Amino acid sequence: MSEAIEIYKAIGDHKKRLRAKYGVTCPVCPEKRPKAHPSILMPQQRCRVDGYVDPRPELTDQQYQEPQMNGISFIISQSGLRPLPSTPKQTPPGGGKLSVSQYVDIAEQFANGDTKANLARAYGVTHQAICYVIKKQQ
Ligand SMILES: [Zn+2]
């Protein structure tokens, strides 16, 4: 399993622990819709169904971090990764398509010792595409 997935899981677990520890059921929900499950509200959270706002003060940083002892903060500090990395979808140059002249360039660069992974990155195509090009040019 990759490290990033481990971190996402740890963040999810942390939120679950926080909800388990500080979440309370909305007291207004049972009046508004007795058959449905009441909302779980964190301090200062507003119920989306009836607009009830939990009156407790917001969690302090310490309270917020408490359930994650040896958990997410440790993993993040060790990994050097940000907690919620956003991965913008990159449009590869040329839209992932290679021209015939690029085929020749790729085959040449590969012959000169460039790796397939490097070439894939440089041309914005998949590793498989590079393999295919090199095979075709041989
Ligand atoms: Zn409610």
> pLDDT digits over 42-91, tens only?
999 999 999 999 999 998 888 887 765 555 555 556 565 555 555 555 55
CA of 5 to the centre of ligand 1 (A): 33
**How many structural domains are present in the chain?**
2
CA of 96 to the centre of ligand 1 (A): 49
How far apart (Å, rounded) are the C-alpha atoms in residues 19 and 63?
Answer: 12
For residue 85, being part of any structural domain is answered with no
CA of 54 to the centre of ligand 1 (A): 10
Domain that holds residue 112: 93-137
How far apart (Å, rounded) are the C-alpha atoms in residues 121 and 124?
Answer: 5
Do 60 and 100 reside in the same domain of the chain? no
Do 60 and 15 reside in the same domain of the chain? yes
Do 57 and 111 reside in the same domain of the chain? no
CA of 68 to the centre of ligand 1 (A): 28
What's the whole-number mean pLDDT along residues 94-100? 69
Q: What is the pTM of this model?
A: 0.43
Do 18 and 67 reside in the same domain of the chain? yes
For residue 105, being part of any structural domain is answered with yes
Sign of the Cα pseudo-torsion (77, 83, 86, 87, in order): positive
